[in-house]
Amino acid sequence: MDRTVQEDATYLAHQIATGAASADELLDDALARVAAFNPQLNAVVLLQEETARKAIKAGLPDGPLKGVPFLMKDLGAEAKDFPSHSGSNLLKDTVYSYDSAIYDRMRNTGVVTFGRTTSPEGGIGPVTESSVYGAPTRNPWNLSHTSGGSSGGSGAAVAAGIVPIAHGSDGGGSVRIPASSCGLFGFKATRARFPDGPASGEGWGGMAIDGFLSRSVRDNATMMDACAGPDAGAPYAAPAMEMSYSQAITRPPRRLRIALCDTTFTGEAIDPACQEAVHKTAKILADLGHHVTPACPKADHDGMMHAWTKIVACGTALWIENTLKSKGRDLQQGDIQGIARGALKYAGEISGAAYLAAVNKVHAYGRQMAAAFDGIDIILSATLAQPPALVGRFIHDREDYENYRVGPGGVFEYSPFCAAFNASGQPAASVPLHWTDDGLPVGVHLAAPFGDDATLIALCAELEQASPWAHQKPKMLADYLA
């Protein structure tokens, strides 16, 4: 029996603890599914089976997920034993001299890391189609569609049952977009909940944070508890939680005041399937006794997205220029893709004063979004304005970076909700509560005030109980299990 796709990571760790399964057996299962699914999905890269076997043999940390197979996103989570491409030919086969704080904390849960998952170059974009991997990453629910981005490889790997939980990161929706696209649970914690060191103090002006994609809420809660807290020298830290994530999900939250937004935050219509998902969720919440009222947050959403675009361009320019400096050479043909070239050029036209103005714009937006929670506890919307895009729609071969993000038909039209909460720093989650008539997942987005992660994850767990999703599996996985 193939155990890993039957239950979540918490269950598998219990199986190992009781002797019903071994870490080596579960790794065998995971590698078998990599062999079965990865030729179609292109989600898992840089396999390190020998490293994983050595870790098992040496004795795994006695953590809550001891022995569970695990994958890290090929962006960030620097680790000496796990080389990285970071989605770019320029960074191909980077070997690290240190272990990041987030990797240390993930490892201490006892997971067996055996490789990385695909990411778009520099983590930009709602799709995962980087040339360094030779092909796009595809969605297990329909191979013609994207698994999302930038944690698209992790989303595809978890949805296909290769692992029950995988590492991701989120600077503009990069955990929640693939969660929505792949029918998974994804949670973006309050700003600075997890460590960024030692390589940096913050990502993208504080808008980026690590996170996880999972099949169950409890797995995500366990991993976030293990990783929470600043590392030494962090420039700032998230407010202390009133209880841990794992404690929060053991009880329903108080009955909450929920603002229902079934359009974009600026009032434009969203796809009927996404609107249906929001209304269906609103009914579930109302039936549970929560108070649901139509309302959309009032803030300068368009101004925020233009500021976000500038900050991310400057972040892209920084890693490109630092890498070239370390290599002692100029940029060469094939080093980076079109969007990164466009971001580099765009950043070159942004003065220091303009960059700081963009940061100030994002900070002002955070205050506007804090005010948006006056009198309410949760903002409910779709995660994306449309079902998962076709592969190739947001291809990175184009160089019009600004238009790619905020122009007509661009990323902001497709994903108008997620980046709002990276800019505000508020916690937000995508919950898999709806599928289209043709079988594509549609996530529902929930957000809470700054620091109130406990209420948010408790609500997510209550929704999981009220409308379970664990039985939902892509056909390719169902056929594999048959």
Catalytic site residue from 84, 100, 150, 151 = 150
Q: How many residues does the chain have?
A: 482
Q: Name the catalytic one among 88, 100, 147, 174.
A: 174
**Is 280 assigned a catalytic role?**
no
* Three-class secondary structure of residue 306 per DSSP: helix
Question: What residues have CB less than 8 Å from 399, skipping those under 6 apart?
Answer: 338, 339, 341, 342, 345
Q: How many CA atoms lie within 13 A of 375 on its CB side?
A: 8
Nearest CA to 227 out of 192, 203, 200, 251 is that of 192
d(CA 263, CA 284): 19
State the Cα–Cα distance between residues 117 and 136, nearest whole angstrom: 12
Q: In a 3-state reduction of DSSP, which class is residue 31? A: helix
180 is catalytic: no
The two tokens of residue 288 are 């549970």
Helices (H), 73-186: 101-107, 152-159, 176-182
Amino acid at position 372, single letter: A
Composition of the chain by helix, strand, coil, percent to 5: 40, 15, 45
Q: Tell me if residue 150 is catalytic.
A: yes
Q: State the Cα–Cα distance between residues 105 and 454, nearest whole angstrom.
A: 20
Beta-carbon count within 10 A of 455 CB: 20
Query: Pick from 291, 294, 288: which is nearest to 463 by CA?
Result: 288
Q: What DSSP string runs through 349-367?
A: T--HHHHHHHHHHHHHHHH
Angle at 158 between CA 429 and CA 86, to 5 degrees: 85
CA atoms of 435 and 328, how far apart (whole Å): 50
Q: Which residues are catalytic?
A: 73, 150, 174
